[in-house]
Amino acid sequence: MGNRGGSSPPSRTTIPNPLKLDGSQILTMKMEVTELGPMKRALKIEVPAAEVTQQFSRAYVELNRQVHVPGFRPGKAPLAILEKRYAKTVEEDVIRKLVPDFYDRAIKEAGIHPVVVDIPPLDRVKIKKDSPFTFTATVEIKPTIELRDYKSPSPMSLQADKRTVAEEQVDRALEVFREQQARLDAAPTGTALADGDYAVVDLEGFLDGVALEGTKKEGQLHRVGSKASLLGIEIDAHLLGKQEGEVVDIPQTYPVSHPDHRVAGKVVQFRLEIKGVKRKTLPALDDEFAKDCGPYASIQDLREKLRSEMEKALKKDIEESYKDTLLKRLVETHHFDLPDTLVERELTTIVRQQLQAQQRGKVTDSLPEPAAEELKAIREEHREEANRRVKAGLILEAIAEKENLSVSQDDLNHEVTRLAKELRVPIADLVKMIQAGGQDSVEELRARILVDKALDLVYRQAVIQG
């Protein structure tokens, strides 16, 4: 989002910052903040000469311990020789120590919360012993958000969701259990496939009579009438009325724009062979059936426990629906500029998810990377959603800060346990995956827990009407 006002020259603020070098001397770090736009600041930071000199001295002392200079005992080489041989290396080492330290001090002093930092490469920064050291960091910052009412005495209101679990829903849930306990038995020889039957099939694509790599599926169990596709092809219509042993040829024409260049603009002949026909046998809904389903004493016991679980799931769904409504309203009632970097990061995540979704169910097991124009189109298509997600996150972060919310180790452990259960992976494996991502992965998890806490606070403060 752009600046709402007209263009204006960058504003500058100089902030002197007293720094104690030792117990008897106070040095001053000079800092000049230049506003480059609504979300950008340039921090020109000057490190005092005495601090620079002290860092050079420490660097040469450490270097003297580590290097071997012919003719001198370890640690006894003259400073002049070290300066002549290792000046460039020491300068880079001093810069690496000074820049992050003084940058951290500067953003704290300026009260800036950076989203991204751009510090010039070492080879573009000059430093000299006994002289002040100046460098400039360009930062993109989070916006200042004026929070609207979200809690007592002016909480947000919600229309009551009065959904309940009906008997018909419990009946359908029992039917799902019944389907899960059903047997698939081979149909009599000569049985013609009908809706609800199961076919065991092989499918393979051929181009100009030659098998096309990545298009072979064998022993696939398909329920006729499910409309499920195989290699991107809907095969239901080709199966109806067919018997075991029959073969069906299915021509498939692909557009010129198809991402797989091997099939773009061509006709692929798919060979569908019915290897077997099966029919489902459903068990009776009685006490024995209930016992086969788990630790249930009777069909009535199973029914009551199913209802209890469904009511818990409905309660959670209603709560999530309430939270979605509150989040949408928060986004609609707050107006501020968004940091471009955060939006672009979110877009990258969305694009990756879209491409993964496209990969599933395609004609081949792997597709080439999309062209730059296609990527650009996907990004623009989802830019509004990225803006919404970033805006919602920033609002919730502001609420968390105002309410002094924090994330404890117990919170992290609980979330990891929840995610492991949801993803069906061992907790230890999930922890390893998070650790493999480094500190950024931990902070990302921490940030997600924090905004969830903020949204939960808004929800608990809301008034449900009706």
Q: Which residue has the tokens 């046998």?
A: 281
CB 367 within 8 A of CB 359: yes
Q: Which residues contact 334 (CB under 8 A, 6 or more apart)?
A: 145, 146, 147, 148, 391, 395
Partners of 20 in the β-ladder: 26
DSSP letter for 226, please. S
- Segment of 64-78, 108-122, 186-200, 426-440 carrying the highest mean pLDDT: 186-200
Mean pLDDT check: name the lowest of 249-258, 371-380, 420-429. Answer: 371-380
Partners of 45 in the β-ladder: 31, 135
Q: In which band, very low, low, confident or very high, does the pLDDT at 2 lie, cut at 50, 70 and 90?
A: very low
Residues 251, 303 within the same domain: no
Give percent above pLDDT 70 in the chain. Answer: 91
| pLDDT of 174 above 80 | yes
Size of the chain in residues: 466
Q: Establish if 122 belongs to a structural domain.
A: yes
Residues 263, 366 within the same domain: no
Number of domains in the chain: 3
| CATH number for position 47 | 3.30.70.1050
| pLDDT of 310 above 90 | yes
Host domain of residue 236:
183-281
Residues 198, 127 within the same domain: no
**What is residue 13's predicted lDDT score, i.e. its pLDDT?**
57
Residues 272, 321 within the same domain: no
Residues 350, 404 within the same domain: yes
Q: Which of 208, 311, 329, 307 is nearest to 266 (CA)?
A: 208
Mean pLDDT of 247-252: 96
**What is residue 352's predicted lDDT score, i.e. its pLDDT?**
87
Residues 335, 444 within the same domain: yes
Residues 256, 304 within the same domain: no
**What is residue 368's predicted lDDT score, i.e. its pLDDT?**
61
| CATH number for position 459 | 1.10.3120.10
Q: Which of 209, 205, 208, 204 is nearest to 220 (CA)?
A: 204
Residues 304, 275 within the same domain: no
How far is residue 312 from each of residues 50, 91, 316, measured CA to CA in Å?
66, 63, 6
Q: Establish if 289 belongs to a structural domain.
A: no
Domain boundary (109, 141, 173) is at: 141
Q: Establish if 56 belongs to a structural domain.
A: yes
Average pLDDT for the chain: 88
Q: Establish if 291 belongs to a structural domain.
A: no
Q: Establish if 78 belongs to a structural domain.
A: yes
Residues 445, 346 within the same domain: yes
Residues 226, 307 within the same domain: no
**What is residue 24's predicted lDDT score, i.e. its pLDDT?**
39
Q: Establish if 292 belongs to a structural domain.
A: no
Instruction: Kindly report the pTM of this predicted structure.
Output: 0.66
User: 97 phi and psi, to 5 degrees?
Assistant: -85, -40
Q: Establish if 329 belongs to a structural domain.
A: yes
Q: Per residue, what are the HEC states of 44-100?
A: EEEECHHHHHHHHHHHHHHHHHHCCCCCCCCCCCCHHHHHHHHHHHHHHHHHHHHHH
| CATH number for position 272 | 3.10.50.40
Residues 189, 93 within the same domain: no
- 70-129 pLDDT, tens digit per residue, is 888 888 888 889 989 999 999 999 999 999 899 989 988 888 888 877 776 766 788 999
Domain boundary (86, 115, 141) is at: 141
Domain boundary (90, 111, 141) is at: 141
Q: Establish if 130 belongs to a structural domain.
A: yes
Residues 213, 359 within the same domain: no
CB 338 within 8 A of CB 143: yes
